[in-house]
Every structure is written in C-alpha cells, then in structure tokens.
A = this chain, B = another copy of it.
Amino acid sequence: MITTEIKNKLIEIVGVSYVFTDDETLNEYGRDHTEDLVFPPSIIVKPASTQEVSAVMKVAFEYAIPVVPIGARTGLSGGILAIHKGIGLSLERLNQIIKIDEQNLQVITQPGVITEVLQNAVAEKGLMYPVDPSSKGSCFIGGNIAENAGGARAVKYGVTKDYVLNLEVVLPNGEIIWTGANTLKNSTGYNLTQLMVGSEGTLGVVTKIVLKLIPAVQHNVLLWVPFFKMEQAAAAVSAIFRAGIVPSALEFMERDAILWTSKFVEVPDVYLKHENEAHLLIEVDGNYPNVLMSEAEKILSVVEAYEIDEVLFADTTDQKNTLWKLRRNIAEAVKQNTVYKEEDTVVPRFELPKLLIGIKAIGDKYGFKSICYGHAGDGNLHVNIVKLDMSDELWQTEVPKGVNEIFQLTKSLNGTISGEHGIGLVQKEFMPIMFSDIELNLMYQIKQIFDPKNIMNPGKIFPSTYQ
C-alpha cells in the first residue's frame, strides 16, 4: 500500500510532476509487449538521476514496497509487469549518453537511451555497437542489459553481455555500487557485472552502463535464400559455419511468418512464393567488398546442396531495408493477426532441424499452430504459438502442456528455454525444467543477498514455490 506519507516522500525526491497515480498512466506502465497481459503498479515514479533512484529505493526499502524497474516496455517475458503492485520505477528520464570515448572505443550511457539512438550516435564517430535486437528502434539499452538482449547480429558479434564492461547499480537498499572496471579484461574478484546482465531487474537498478565498442564495419551483402522444405533450411544453417564462414546475420523464417508480415510491409512479389516453406536471410559484413562477394559465393555453394529456389542478392539499401523490415516486423504481424504466446527456444545450431520438427509435432499433438522464425545462426528459434480459431478452453488447457513439451525437447537437445527474451513472468514456472533445486536455490540465495526484503521486481524468474 502506497500511503499518502510514502507518496509525499516520493514527490519530495522526484518532484510532483514525476509521480503518477492516475489509471491511464498506471495502465500504460502496466504492460509491455508480452501477450495481452496488464499488471499496473500502484504508483509511477520517474527519477532523473542515480541519486534520485537511490533515494526512491531507500523509501521502498524502509517500507518494504515492491519496485519494478521499467524501461521502454518492449519486453517479451513480462519482466516489467507489476504483479505485486508497488512502485513502477521508470528510467525514461535517465536518457543521456554520458560520453562516447573515441580514444578507448567505449561509451558510457544512462539506461533510458533507445538502443538505435545509441548505435547512431556512436556510428557518427566511426564506431559500432553491434547488438541489434529487433526492437532496437524503441527498446532501451537498460532493458537490453536486464534481459541480455541478442538480435540478428549476435551470431557474429555476440549478445549484450559481450559488450558490458562495467555497471553502476543502485541496490535495493539504495546503496550505489560499481560492478567492475572500464577494461576489456578483468580478473579482479567475482564477476558482478555478468551477474547483473540478464538478472531482469531482480537484483538492483542499473543507472550507468559502460559498453565496449568496435570500429564501424563498412560493407555488407545480404542474401535471401528460399527453401522448399523448412527442415532443409534449418539444416543448412550449421553447414554454413562448418564451411568456415561466420555470417553477420543468419535468420530463419517460415512461410507464414513472412506471408503475414507482407500484409504490413510492402514486399516485391519476387521475395514471396507459396511453394517455399522457409527462407534464410543471410548477411556477411566486413571492410573488403571482394571478400564479401567471395564469402557470399561460398554460402551459395553450401546452400545449393539443399533443395532451394532462386537466391536473391539484395544489392541496394532499399532492397536490404525491405528484407530487414520484413524480418523485424514478424512479431508485430503475428500480434495483429491473432492471440499468441511466444517462446524463445535456443539449442546448439545443428539441433535446429530436430527442434523445428519436434515443435511442429507437438503442435499437432495438442492442436495448435505455430509460427517459427528467429536467429538461426545462434540456434535461437522464436516459436509463436497462435490461437487463431482455437477454443478458449483448449488454449487454456492444451497450450501449456505443449509449451512444457517444447521446453523438455529444448533441454534434451542441450538447449535452454530462453535465448534472449528472459524468463520474467511468463516462463518462470518452467525454470525447473532447466535447473535442479540445488541450482535454483543458489540463484535464489544470490537474490536474497542483494535483496533481503524481496522488493526488487518480486515474482519474476523464480517459480512461484520460491515466493
């Protein structure tokens, strides 16, 4: 319960203009991009600095009020849903890029900067932040850290965790720490930085971020490869790496993913043919165009061993943008079409065909259809289970059984249940598939060290037996 006394303390910290209790705002901040779930907090507070975040946390700690750190609300696992009410702590005003360090190829930023804004700012200096989530145009870099976001270029450049050097974190009791140093290497005590990355706002509030950058890459080549059989598309993925090539993107899309999306994105007919069950979108990048052409040819010689239709080279920026837009809008297109649930399976990439075939078989068994697409180069397959005309009853009873089986399959293939979306609210009951009680207990005890009053985004990651 947020009493008037508490509310006044919060107003004193951030100012009356930055505390909200109206239903409209609460509802707005009570949902992200996870299905149609809405869990509004009791109050929204928008601090403007690390010190204000710290002061808010001290109040929350004193009164044992749950706090949910809120970014751009583009999450896909319900990480920001305030299931226990409390304070919704929006980081949107911590939106400054503090310093682009061209000498050291680093950037220091606040968490509320949109990822693409950050990318563009460093690109102007000839630098590159290559982590590239599909939501980059709207997500915050802070949210990327919370979920350890990946995206299309992870296959060559790695995920968020691979770029985070150091973090300023406000602990649940309001204390402020730094997790490491601004160095490329660090063997100085336990890696608190990597413990924070992907902890989904359950250990503290990240208020400053030091990221590694790389010199900007100048050129890329994009291939659009249609396969008659989707399993063959999945199988071609690992063959490309085994040929010694590391593409900068290797995306898989099954037919319906692109057909549905083509309703929203204008796509020339040549890119879409009904007889093709799946496509791979393959990019290679680098600074030497000749090398890229030679790598593209190697890729061609690999995929030609499968039953493919005509491969298209995207030559112009327009063509490239069209294809990427097609890829990036799949999630939104599914959402517009039907009620759905999204899973974020990941396996060692050679196991992709088994995963894909298994998912389809599980769908058949339980009576649901799925749209599969994702970062195949990483073995990361997004599975959108779509309701369409399925009855509410079957949707409620059969889908969870199917999801459970999909995750069991993922585990049996040496994979895991989330590659880049996080566990958050919607996957937490499945954690025992991946981790033993011993392992989950270790994680939960770590949470208790950071957050002895369990106020920091409670009810996330851990199955409900833990709360």
Q: How far is the CA of A283 from the CA of B461 in the complex (A)?
A: 44
- Partner of A186 from the list B187, B241, B346 (CB cut-off 8 Å) is B346
Contacts of A31 in B (CB 8 A): none
Contacts of A294 in B (CB 8 A): 288
Q: Which residues of chain A from 26 to 72 have any CB-CB distance to chain B below 8 Å in the complex? A: none
With A192-B443, A194-B194 already in contact, the answer to whether A187 and B418 are too (CB < 8 A) is yes
Is A120 at the interface (CB under 8 A from chain B)?
A: no
User: How near does chain B come to A426, taking the closest CB pair, in angstroms?
Assistant: 13
With A185-B419, A419-B186 already in contact, the answer to whether A438 and B379 are too (CB < 8 A) is no
B438 touches A177 (CB 8 A): yes
Contacts of A186 in B (CB 8 A): 148, 198, 346, 416, 418-419
A246 touches B159 (CB 8 A): no
User: How near does chain B come to A435, taking the closest CB pair, in angstroms?
Assistant: 6
A104 and chain B: residue at smallest CB distance: B348
A449 touches B442 (CB 8 A): yes
B246 touches A214 (CB 8 A): yes
Q: Which residues of chain A from 404 to 439 have any CB-CB distance to chain B below 8 Å in the complex? A: 411, 414-423, 431, 434-436, 438-439
Contacts of A183 in B (CB 8 A): 346-348, 378-380, 414-416, 419
Contacts of A380 in B (CB 8 A): 183-185
User: How near does chain B come to A295, taking the closest CB pair, in angstroms?
Assistant: 9
Proximity bits, A184-202, B CB within 8 Å = 1, else 0: 1111111110110111000
Q: How far is the CA of A16 from the CA of B102 in the complex (A)?
A: 60
A447 and chain B: residue at smallest CB distance: B190
Contacts of A461 in B (CB 8 A): 189-190
- Partner of A238 from the list B104, B177, B423 (CB cut-off 8 Å) is B104
B181 touches A416 (CB 8 A): yes
- Partner of A198 from the list B105, B179, B190 (CB cut-off 8 Å) is B190
A462 and chain B: residue at smallest CB distance: B189
A191 touches B181 (CB 8 A): no
A218 and chain B: residue at smallest CB distance: B244
A178 and chain B: residue at smallest CB distance: B439
Q: How many copies altogether? A: 2
- Partner of A162 from the list B162, B171, B347, B378 (CB cut-off 8 Å) is B162
Q: Which residues of chain A from 267 to 287 have any CB-CB distance to chain B below 8 Å in the complex? A: 287
Q: How far is the CA of A177 from the CA of B438 in the complex (A)?
A: 7
User: How near does chain B come to A2, taking the closest CB pair, in angstroms?
Assistant: 28
Is A208 at the interface (CB under 8 A from chain B)?
A: no
Is A86 at the interface (CB under 8 A from chain B)?
A: no
Q: How far is the CA of A287 from the CA of B184 in the complex (A)?
A: 25
B187 touches A421 (CB 8 A): yes
Is A137 at the interface (CB under 8 A from chain B)?
A: no
Contacts of A195 in B (CB 8 A): 190-191, 194-195
Q: Which residues of chain A from 115 to 170 have any CB-CB distance to chain B below 8 Å in the complex? A: 126, 147-150, 154-155, 158-159, 161-162
User: How near does chain B come to A296, taking the closest CB pair, in angstroms?
Assistant: 14
Q: How far is the CA of A101 from the CA of B419 in the complex (A)?
A: 20
Q: How far is the CA of A288 from the CA of B293 in the complex (A)?
A: 12
Is A344 at the interface (CB under 8 A from chain B)?
A: yes
B161 touches A244 (CB 8 A): no
Q: Which residues of chain A from 439 to 467 have any CB-CB distance to chain B below 8 Å in the complex? A: 439-440, 442-443, 445-447, 449-450, 461
Contacts of A375 in B (CB 8 A): 185
Is A316 at the interface (CB under 8 A from chain B)?
A: no
Is A175 at the interface (CB under 8 A from chain B)?
A: yes
Proximity bits, A233-260, B CB within 8 Å = 1, else 0: 0000010011011100000000000000
- Partner of A185 from the list B159, B177, B351, B447 (CB cut-off 8 Å) is B159
Q: How far is the CA of A461 from the CA of B187 in the complex (A)?
A: 10
With A180-B416, A348-B101 already in contact, the answer to whether A245 and B187 are too (CB < 8 A) is no
A-B contact pairs, 8 of them (CB 8 A): A175-B438, A183-B347, A184-B349, A184-B379, A185-B375, A185-B380, A191-B195, A195-B195
Which residues of A does B touch, CB under 8 Å?
Answer: 101-106, 126, 147-150, 154-155, 158-159, 161-162, 171, 175, 177-192, 194-195, 197-199, 214-216, 238, 241-242, 244-246, 287-288, 291, 294, 344, 346-351, 375, 378-380, 411, 414-423, 431, 434-436, 438-440, 442-443, 445-447, 449-450, 461
Which 8 A-B pairs have CB atoms at the shortest separation, nearest pair first? A194-B194, A103-B350, A181-B416, A104-B348, A185-B419, A215-B244, A182-B414, A445-B449
